[in-house]
Amino acid sequence: MKTALIGLGRMGMRQATVLRQCELRIDAISDLNPEACKTAGEEFDVAPENQFVSGEKLIETIQPELLIIATTAPSHHDLVILAAKSGVRKILCEKPMGTNLAECQNMVKTCHAAGVELAVNHQMRSMEQYTIPKHMAASPEFGGIGSVIVSAGNFGMAMNGTHYFEMFRYMTDEEPVLVSAWFSDNTLQNPRGAQFKDVAGSIRLETPSGKRFYMDCSSDQGHGMQVTYNCHNGRITIDELDGSMYYVARHPEHRNQPTTQYGMPYDKGARTITPADAVAPTRAVLESLLRGENFPNGEDGLLAMKLLIAAHISNSRGGETIDLRKEELPTDLTLPIA
Ligand SMILES: NC(=O)c1ccc[n+]([C@@H]2O[C@H](COP(=O)([O-])OP(=O)(O)OC[C@H]3O[C@@H](n4cnc5c(N)ncnc54)[C@H](O)[C@@H]3O)[C@@H](O)[C@H]2O)c1
């Protein structure tokens, strides 16, 4: 399969590693920075004539069948649209999917019309740190999730928050419909450049059946990610950086007691899971895209962006709850995100 990669920064180099692990030859690469092209070209054996400063030129000249887009968000839309109209069959685009909802909607529509499979690299469904608690939470021992609480460092509502929105959708198999958010007053210099800005703060989501998500990634919090899944009969807590899990659950004979009996005896357990990592789960996303099954798709990327835009609107109204079933979000609110 003729394969190309656009964007050769930190994530692009990981994507290149993934392609090599999947034994897919990289036929062409592109980056606005010619030095990045040269370095990646040497490392991944791409001929100089197949190295492009312009991603558009690469698409028109090479006409790849598989395209990985690992540029920053402002170029995702135009590259995906051109690729979809130029005969690319499968696209793996980095998150966040775009910078506004109009872009994301157009990406979904255009790929659908052209019969192109579009994956957005929200890898949550491929990560043990989510697949294992999802399975545990659904068991009779835990009795189903009521809420998810994410305690995080200042990792950015767009940069990482969107991953956690997709995680909550995946864990509950429901699309959140209520959004309230409160952003921190100050933002720090963005590591990817002064043209990019992301926000810190806290957010609450709720699904139609009443499952809740609370995340605090405020700007005065400088370390780690810990997630707790509160279930009917117990609680599962994971330190995502080191992969340690700790859980408690009611004794089986007490499972049918009302939740007001919250202080009954309980079993405790601990185990380790694969800690957070971007290469292995990205490989799993690429492999599922190649198989054409169960990959995070354009609709999933669009939902994560909708929740992010709703968070910005809620924050601008002092934390008012936005009901996505009742309010149309603006499609042109553009965020300066990477
Ligand atoms: N899925 C994940 O877990 C994950 C992890 C990290 C980053 N990301 C996402 O990956 C993307 C890239 O992040 P990064 O950390 O590699 O950023 P980066 O700044 O290190 O690299 C981006 C690269 O893209 C190039 N580029 C930008 N616009 C381009 C264009 N129009 N054509 C060609 N090249 C272009 C830049 O020159 C740069 O080399 C971002 O959208 C980021 O949010 C995803």
What domains sit in the chain, N to C, each tagged with a CATH number?
A: 3-123+281-296 (3.40.50.720), 124-276 (3.30.360.10)
Positive or negative torsion for Cα 191, 223, 305, 128: positive
Distances (CA, A) of 30 to 47, 71, 120, 234: 12, 10, 19, 49
Closest CA to 244 of 153, 162, 128: 128
pLDDT at site 102: 98
**pLDDT averaged over 10-residue windows placed end to end, the chain, 338 residues:** 98 98 98 98 98 98 98 98 98 98 98 98 97 98 98 97 98 98 89 92 98 98 97 97 97 95 96 90 98 98 98 98 98 98
207 lines ligand 1 (CB under 6 A): no
The residue whose C-alpha atom lies closest to atom 39 belonging to ligand 1 is 9
CB 66 within 8 A of CB 24: yes
Distance 34 CA to ligand 1 centre (A): 15
> Residue 272: CB partners within 8 Å, gap ≥ 6?
243, 244, 245
CA distance 53 to 58: 8
Which ligand 1 atom sits closest to the C-alpha of 278? 3
94 lines ligand 1 (CB under 6 A): yes
H or E segment to which residue 21 belongs: helix 10-21
pLDDT at site 186: 81
CA distance 127 to 338: 23
pLDDT at site 190: 85
Which ligand 1 atom sits closest to the C-alpha of 159? 43
71 lines ligand 1 (CB under 6 A): yes
pLDDT at site 187: 76
72 lines ligand 1 (CB under 6 A): yes
8 lines ligand 1 (CB under 6 A): yes
12 lines ligand 1 (CB under 6 A): yes
Distance 51 CA to ligand 1 centre (A): 17
40 lines ligand 1 (CB under 6 A): no
Q: Check: pTM over 0.95? Answer yes or no.
A: yes
Distance 164 CA to ligand 1 centre (A): 19
pLDDT at site 204: 99
pLDDT at site 217: 98
Which ligand 1 atom sits closest to the C-alpha of 78? 31
The residue whose C-alpha atom lies closest to atom 6 belonging to ligand 1 is 11
CA distance 292 to 205: 30
Distance 76 CA to ligand 1 centre (A): 10
Distance 83 CA to ligand 1 centre (A): 18
Distance 30 CA to ligand 1 centre (A): 12
User: β-strand 145-152 against 201-206: which pairing, if any?
Assistant: unpaired
pLDDT at site 281: 97
pLDDT at site 191: 82
CA distance 160 to 164: 7
